[in-house]
Chains A and B, each alone.
Chain A
Amino acid sequence: MNDTDLDTLLSTPLPERDAGEFSVLLMEKIAHDQARPARILSWITVGLLTLIVAAASLYGAQMMNHATSFSVAIPSLLTVLTLALSFAVMQSAREA
């Protein structure tokens, strides 16, 4: 084989590949990739939620015997925070 024949053969374009299935799969992967931050956030939020609920339960148990208006305000605040975080988790899960 001479140089010209080899160059001609090498310069033959690569076979065309159909984009259909490849493109669909790629778009699915990109969508999954885009949802990643929301998924991470939802796991972080679930962790925080668990800690808050545990802290609230412990605090409640300690205050059982000597409740004051101040000691009632803190569990109420924790409950509101828990509800807000639950809402955030639901939103994140929906986006993911």
Chain B
Amino acid sequence: MDDPGLIDRAIRKDVAAFNALARLHQSKVRGLLLRLTRGNHATADDLAQETFLEAWRAIGNFRGDSAFATWLYRIAYSRFLMQARKRKPDEQLDDWQGEAPSGESATHARIDLERAFTKLSAPESAALTLCFALGLSNTEAAEALDMPLGTLKSHVLRGREKLKAILGDQP
């Protein structure tokens, strides 16, 4: 998915190239943040904007050691954690606030899954989303979440068990 030409141009502060990269990756970054913010579209999109703005400022430091997407997810997750720390207790995001998925994806199972995700911790939710919905390897996901591989694996395991229990309890 990464276009090395676009990345090279963006590193040289070519706005058009960075815009093309942002268009390529925005959907997945916003999707990850939407899940982490429990369906709060406004907060997720604000965080996604901050993520890409920070990526633009720091793109000179991108060395290509990881995939560009992994680098973006890392920024997005750290922005989310910073925002979560600042949030007041009465502003906690407790339940899925988004609209029900529409169109082909509007299955009950999908809606139930999103609601079940709200019961997971942020690292569990992020680990499962990166490893399954976004298709990252465990190593890439651990890098994106800035945690050791073993910790990532235990978040995935614990998250899956919780989801199974929650979804299994539903009628």
Binding site for B on A (CB under 8 A): 1, 3, 6-7, 9-17, 19, 22-23, 25-27, 29-31, 33
**Given A33-B53, A33-B56, A17 and B167 touching (CB < 8 A)?**
no
Cβ of B22 < 8 Å from any Cβ of A?
yes
Asked if A26 meets B22 with Cβ closer than 8 Å, knowing A1-B164, A10-B133, A14-B133, the reply is yes
What is the minimal beta-carbon distance from A76 to any residue of chain B, in angstroms?
42
Q: Is the interface of A mostly helix, strand, loop or mixed?
A: helix
B15 part of interface (Cβ distance < 8 Å): yes
* Contact indicator A10/B53 (Cβ below 8 Å): no
Which residues of chain B have C-beta atoms less than 8 A from A19's C-beta?
22-23, 26-27
Contact A14 B15 (CB under 8 A): no
Does B75 lie at the interface of the complex (its beta carbon under 8 Å from any beta carbon of A)?
no
Closest to A7 in B: B132
Once A14-B133, A15-B101 are accepted as A-B contacts, the answer to whether A27 and B15 lie under 8 Å apart by CB is yes
The residues of B that contact A1 with a CB separation of less than 8 Å are 164, 167-168
A15 touches B31 (CB 8 A): yes
Q: Which residues from B are CB-within-8-Å of A27? A: 15, 19
- Chain B residue nearest to A25 (CB atoms) is B49
User: Which B residues lie within 8 Å of A9 (CB)?
Assistant: 109-110, 113
CB-nearest residue of chain B to A2: B164
Chain A to chain B: the 5 pairs with minimum beta-carbon distance, closest first: A14-B31, A10-B132, A19-B23, A17-B27, A11-B132
Identify which of residues 157-171 in chain B touch chain A, using a CB-to-CB cut-off of 8 Å: 160, 163-164, 167-168
Given contacts A7-B132, A23-B19, A30-B53, contact A14 B45 (CB under 8 A): no
Contact indicator B52/A11 (Cβ below 8 Å): no
Report which of A3, A11, A15, A29 forms a contact with B53, defined as CB distance below 8 A.
A29
Q: Distance (Å) between the CB of B135 and the closest chain A CB?
A: 8
Instruction: Decide if B31 touches A6 in the complex (CB within 8 Å).
Output: no
Q: Is the CB of B110 within 8 A of A14?
A: no
How many Å from the CB of A23 to the closest CB on chain B?
A: 5
> Given A1-B164, A11-B132, A26-B26, 10 more contacts at CB 8 Å?
A6-B160, A10-B113, A10-B163, A15-B105, A17-B31, A26-B52, A27-B19, A29-B49, A30-B53, A33-B56
Hey, which chain A residues are within 8 Å of B101, CB to CB? Answer: 15
Q: 26 A-B contacts, Cβ less than 8 Å apart?
A: A1-B164, A1-B167, A3-B164, A6-B164, A10-B132, A11-B132, A11-B133, A11-B135, A12-B133, A13-B133, A14-B27, A14-B32, A14-B34, A15-B101, A17-B30, A17-B31, A22-B22, A22-B30, A22-B49, A23-B23, A26-B22, A26-B49, A26-B52, A26-B53, A30-B53, A31-B15
